[in-house]
Structure 1
Amino acid sequence: TQRLPRAVGKAKAMDMALTARMMGAEEAERAGLVSRVVPADKLMDEALEAATVIASMSLPSVMMAKECVNRAFEGSLNEGLLFERRVFHSLFATEDQKEGMAAFTEKRKPDFKHR
């Protein structure tokens, strides 16, 4: 009950908490409870595609992006922005950042070492 209003808003959270009404996939997507809805027969293909995209990125950057999003719900906006700035500065010093910039300027795919 504490995280739900932050995710879907007070009115929707109140409706869900008080009625215990079942929610379909499309409504859950509209409410922001799921990121996307796919047909059951395409689920593994979609999941593998998303995993492939994520796995192609720098591991430290992916980990910190997750941490920044998760922290957005734990403190004030100013605290979140400060944390985000610190993360940005720390990631800017990584080998992967340098590889990413080089790959961008050389118009090639990056070869991240996850450092």
Structure 2
Amino acid sequence: MKQPAIFLMLLSVLTSCRSSKQVTINNQEQIIKTMLFKWKDGLKAYEKEEAKAIFYMLVDKIDGFDSFKEYQIVSDRFEAVYVLEFSNKNAFEVYNNHPLHKELSQKGPELISDYMEYIHYK
């Protein structure tokens, strides 16, 4: 009886995994990163604002990180959408390797209970 339950759990994990397909992008292509968040229950408003403030700081610090926009979403799964726009691949790489971004990424599990991201190229 345990085998069907294990199979269903494994199937669920496999179908939720993101593709590891490598995409080569031209440095001149605009990159748009869309993130969907569900904040953890009980998280204080100031904790959310502090996390979002880091994104706004990064826009000011990184040349080519053009904008950070936030939207509300009507969803049973997520409560917020954040859209980050980069003018090129180099700016996106600087963002990914920036100490403030790395610090925020490490805090992520303390702040959010569900997350999804999409990367778009223009």
Same fold (TM > 0.5): no
TM-score normalized by the length of structure 2? 0.29
Which structure is richer in relative contact order (CA contacts within 8 A, separation 6 or more)?
A: 2
Which structure shows the higher helix fraction? 1
- Greater C-alpha Rg: 1
